[in-house]
């Protein structure tokens, strides 16, 4: 009887693994969170639209957050946005279900200041910073091991800085706009 059970499991296992991999194919967020120039924090059109629709307006009270607009194929993976205020700075966050660069996603956040100035964005994953840095660098980000690096040349005094932040079991890619 044990031989029969072991044989049945051996025959079923490859199918189960294939089904699991197929399920993960459907939860990939790589196309939504794509960058045109990763090493310069230059986002692709889908990510740019997500960021713009997440934190829509900080020029009036209350600030306008969402609704987040994403292509239909990703709609089921996008949660309800929230906003936090710290003085004149706002952070709007939307939870995302799925995987980005092979890592389990947590959320995307946009920072902005009262009056309309942007501050940058975070992409947060449920993985330690070493795993995020390795995944980012495989994708061409040239992420710094520590601190922040200039990710783009100054353009009329503004430039993008890239860093990786760690908080507990989560870590984030941060692209921050400086002037």
Lowest mean pLDDT among 4-13, 32-41, 142-151: 4-13
β-bridge pairing 99-100 and 89-95: unpaired
Q: What is the pLDDT of residue 44?
A: 97
| Higher pLDDT among residues 81 and 10, named by residue | 81
The rounded distance, in Å, linking the Cα atoms of 97 and 76 is: 8
Helices (H), 1-55: 2-25, 45-54
The rounded distance, in Å, linking the Cα atoms of 109 and 111 is: 7
Measuring CA to CA, which residue among 172, 154, 173, 178 is closest to residue 162?
173
What average pLDDT does the chain have? Answer: 83
Is residue 143 within 8 A of residue 150, CB to CB? The reply is no
Q: What is the pLDDT of residue 12?
A: 32
pLDDT digits (tens, 9 = 90+) for 10-25: 333 333 333 333 334 5
Is residue 94 within 8 A of residue 79, CB to CB? The reply is yes
Q: Output b/e per residue, 117-134; b: 16+ Cβ within 10 A.
A: ebbbbbbbbbbebeebbb
Is residue 33 within 8 A of residue 47, CB to CB? The reply is yes
The rounded distance, in Å, linking the Cα atoms of 89 and 173 is: 19
Asked if the peptide bond before residue 67 counts as cis, ω within 30 degrees of 0, the response is yes
The rounded distance, in Å, linking the Cα atoms of 63 and 169 is: 30
The pTM for the full model equals 0.82
Is residue 32 within 8 A of residue 48, CB to CB? The reply is no
What the block records as the tokens of 152 is 């783009």
What the block records as the tokens of 22 is 């197929």
Rounded to 5 degrees, φ, ψ at 66 are: 65, -175
The rounded distance, in Å, linking the Cα atoms of 21 and 27 is: 10
């Amino acid at each position: 009887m044990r031989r029969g059970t072991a044989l049945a499991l051996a025959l079923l296992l490859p199918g189960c693994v294939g089904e699991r991999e197929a399920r993960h194919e459907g939860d990939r967020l790589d196309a939504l969170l794509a960058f045109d120039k990763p090493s310069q924090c230059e986002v692709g059109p889908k990510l740019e639209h997500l960021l713009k629709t997440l934190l829509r307006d900080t020029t009036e009270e209350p600030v306008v957050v969402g609704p987040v607009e994403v292509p239909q194929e990703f709609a089921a993976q996008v949660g309800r946005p929230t906003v936090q205020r710290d003085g004149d700075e706002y952070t709007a966050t939307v939870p995302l279900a799925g995987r980005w660069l092979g890592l389990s996603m947590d959320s995307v956040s946009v920072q902005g200041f009262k009056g309309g100035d942007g501050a940058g964005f975070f992409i947060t994953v449920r993985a330690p910073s070493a795993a995020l840095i390795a995944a980012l660098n495989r994708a061409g980000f040239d992420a710094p091991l520590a601190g922040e690096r200039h990710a783009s040349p100054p353009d009329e005094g503004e430039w993008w800085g890239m860093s990786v932040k760690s908080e507990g079991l989560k870590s984030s890619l941060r692209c921050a706009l400086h002037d």
